[in-house]
Amino acid sequence: MISATEADWKREYSVPGSYEPGKKLLAAIRHYQLLTKNGGILSGVMKPVTVFHYRFWSAISGADIPLNSKIGGGLLIPHPNGIVIHPDAQIGPNCLIFQQVTIGTGPKPGLPVIEGHVDIGAGAKILGGIHIGAHARIGANSVVINDIPSNTTAVGIPAVVRK
């Protein structure tokens, strides 16, 4: 089973010469975050280039994932088109997010906290100050506005836990 606590960084690596816009976008975000963390003169020179790469791959992939997002390592976004993530939402390591997913504000105050190794189906919406447990699965087109326990599957509008 894939870990919900330890990031598997190999999941984000792009094969040289391949067309993987999701992985290229994540690489630009990770590079920017590293430059911001380290600081220094070289960082000041490299940041504009990294921001250009980020904007390019954001436009190509059609995803809105902020540079300062709180995303654990090992994220997979095989079809990044239409993914929108609020900058203050927290996503744990080794998650899988398909196309047209929105993670942001909703009826409950606050923003979603998603633990590690959560699979989020295409078109799902995760909204408000909710908590999604580790190894949970969110069905395609589900609207999640309540907490989802670990090791469960949630489907529907609004999403409910199914066995």
Using one digit for the tens of pLDDT, what is the confidence trace for 107-162? 999 999 999 999 999 999 999 999 999 999 999 999 999 999 999 999 999 999 98
pLDDT for res 142: 98
Using one digit for the tens of pLDDT, what is the confidence trace for 48-85? 999 999 999 999 999 999 999 999 999 999 999 999 99
Using one digit for the tens of pLDDT, what is the confidence trace for 79-104? 999 999 999 999 999 999 999 999 99
Confidence of residue 15 (pLDDT cuts 50, 70, 90): confident
Q: Over 80: is that where the pLDDT of 1 sits? A: no
Which element (helix H / strand E) includes 90? Answer: strand 90-91
Nearest to 71 by CA among 143, 146, 9: 9
pLDDT for res 9: 92
Under DSSP, is residue 43 helix (H, G, I), strand (E, B) or coil? helix
**The dihedral of CA 56, 97, 35, 104: what is its sign?**
positive
pLDDT for res 44: 86
> Model pTM?
0.93
Contact criterion met (CB below 8 Å) for 114 and 91:
yes
Say whether domain 66-163 belongs to CATH 2.160.10.10: yes
| Pairwise CA distance, residues 159 & 111, whole Å | 17
pLDDT for res 40: 85
Q: Over 90: is that where the pLDDT of 43 sits? A: no
Q: Over 80: is that where the pLDDT of 28 sits? A: yes
Average of pLDDT values for 7-25?
92
| Domain parsing of the chain, residue ranges | 14-61, 66-163
